[in-house]
Amino acid sequence: MPMYQYECDGCGDILQKMMTFDEHENDRSIPLVHGNCPSPARGKFLQVYDFHFNKGMRDHWSSQLNKPVSSERQFNSELSRHQDEYSARMGYDVNFETVDPNDRSGLNVTDVGIDADA
């Protein structure tokens, strides 16, 4: 389900709401005027077209698990099992995490050196 984001044009306050496309088309619960806006002009909430989808995982071969995976639930379950196996084998806690390849901060990607790489 998409997350819709609204921003007050007076003070910059953010309002986020998760709703289906149909709910969004017929939604009247988002206030047009920001009642708590400190701006003397009382700002209005405007939609920021920045919403995210939780994409479902398709059937695929997981090279991390070395087996076919058909759902995110199965992937997380198998990842947890592998985590426990590695922790027992290595003698210390191992913590596997799923990371979205588009999440630059989660992957510690910066713009440093990008010109040299290009």
Q: Where do the DSSP E strands lie in the chain?
A: 3-8, 14-18, 45-48, 60-62, 67-69
Sheet of 3-8, strand order: 14-18, 3-8, 45-48
pLDDT digits (tens, 9 = 90+) for 66-108: 899 988 889 989 999 999 999 999 999 998 887 777 777 767 7
Centre a 10 Å sphere on the Cβ of residue 2 and count the other Cβ atoms it contains: 15
Work out the average pLDDT over 43-64: 74
Nearest to 24 by CA among 51, 49, 45, 4: 4
Residue pair 69/75 in contact by the 8 Å Cβ criterion: yes
pTM of the model: 0.43
pLDDT at 50 over 60: no
- Binning pLDDT at 50, 70 and 90, where does residue 48 land? confident
Q: What angle do CA 102, 106, 111 make, to 5 degrees?
A: 75
Helices (H), 5-107: 21-25, 72-90
